[in-house]
Amino acid sequence: MRVVHPTPDYPQLLRGADLRVTRPRVAVLGAVHAHPHADTESIIGAVRADLPEVSHQAVYDSLRTLAAAGLVRRIQPAGSVARYEARIGDNHHHLVCRSCGTVVDVDCAVGEAPCLTASDDHGFTIDEAEVVFWGLCPACSPTRS
């Protein structure tokens, strides 16, 4: 079995979401695909490798638009700035290092989205169950003998 990861056609993804295709949006979408869980500043840096003149506001606007359209997901672990990823629609979860802030993906252990049911929904209409595992990454863990 062979899993293929063709480079996504970003303009097509944008059109499919009824969004205008602009150079900043294409570059931002590409940067998010290339740098999972990157924060806005990193994305601005990556985008400027292609478009040296993009404004930070264009990146902020693009990220917001892409997130609203469901083309990217925005996450924000407590104490962190916003981070973005292109892995969407699979309700996966995250492992966050308390020391360095590194974020890694964790497949949902239970099932489909939402993967968990609240014991008492208090009358809420729940649409997502977000799980964040906190701890220390290998690099930040105290070395054992």
Partner DNA sequence: TCCGTTTTCTTGAATGAGTCAAGAAACGGT
Partner DNA sequence: ACCGTTTCTTGACTCATTCAAGAAAACGGA
Question: Which residues are near Zn ion by CB under 5 A?
Answer: 97, 99-100, 102, 137, 140
Q: Which is nearer to Zn ion, 42 or 102 (CB)?
A: 102
- Cα–Cα distance measured from residue 94 to residue 104, given in angstroms and rounded to the nearest whole number: 6
- Cα–Cα distance measured from residue 38 to residue 85, given in angstroms and rounded to the nearest whole number: 7
Residues with Cβ within 8 Å of residue 30, at least 6 apart in sequence: 10, 50
Binding partner at 127 among DNA, Zn ion, a copy of itself, none, C-beta below 5 to 8 Å by kind = a copy of itself
Smallest gap from Cβ 121 to DNA, in A, equals: 27
Binding partner at 85 among Mn ion, DNA, a copy of itself, none, C-beta below 5 to 8 Å by kind = Mn ion
Six token digits for residue 133: 């595992």
Query: How many residues at the interface with Mn ion, by CB under 5 A?
Result: 2
Q: Which is nearer to a copy of itself, 51 or 95 (CB)?
A: 95
- Cα–Cα distance measured from residue 10 to residue 8, given in angstroms and rounded to the nearest whole number: 6
Q: Could you say which residues in the range 45-64 bind Mn ion, by CB under 5 A?
A: none
Six token digits for residue 31: 């940067």
